Amino acid sequence: MSYATIETEEKGGTGFIYFNREEHLNTVTVEMVDEIMKALSNMEENCKSIVIGGRKNFSAGADIMQFKDMNTMKAYEFHRKLNDLALYFREFKRPIISFLNGYVLGGGLELSLSTDIRVCSRDALLGQPEINLGINAGAGGNVILPDVIGRNRALYMILTGEKIPAVTAYDFGLVDIIAANPLDEAIRIATTINNKPENTVMLAKRAVNSTENKVKKDLDYEAALFGILFSEKDTQDRINNFIKRKGT
């Protein structure tokens, strides 16, 4: 099956999803979310594991061009769309291993947080820069990130919007492994998992994710706050200025 925003492959019991919007730093669109979910659904029965990422960049976040003239309700619905993908990763019965190259920012970083194992390139840059546009995190940055790295480090990333290098991300517990070639390492891990008892792997993931009802509730609250911020003039001005700079 062909897609507009991703490329897929199945090999050795592993399904591969490559983000294919490199000219836009693999920023996430609604179409991309739909295609990733469709690809995962198609792979769920035939593949024992999934490897997902971008060859040059994982993702620089949501595509800001979508935010032009977005009102509160549309902003809430867009955020919910990103939440759907994050929850789909977490509820997917097969383990999902993300390989992180280049920019891993905003919604891109947040989506990686809902994968099961994160393998990071040494030269990757990670961050939550949404505050620079007057918006809050789009797919769990306020909900999942504090659980992963702790409240204070999460607030540091959220409130400063600074990008951190891979070694700092590893020290924070934001990524699990740093590798010279994260795709190769992700494949090695996937192959190891593929050789384990299939049902045990699936039930182990389900057991670890047994608190998902709280995550769903908190993500919806985060989405509501995201929508409210789109009623702010400062937010609209910052987004419009960003779009103007991109257009020049």
> Does the annotation mark 130 as catalytic?
yes
- Candidates 35, 130, 185, 222; catalytic one: 130
Q: From 28, 13, 46, select the one nearest 110 (Cα to Cα).
A: 28
Could you give the dihedral angle defined by the CA atoms of residues 120, 212, 160 and 151, in that order, rounded to the nearest 10 degrees?
-100
Residue 198 appears among annotated catalytic residues: no
Phi, psi of 68 (to 5 degrees): -60, 125
Catalytic residue among 31, 91, 110, 212: 110
Catalytic residues: 110, 130
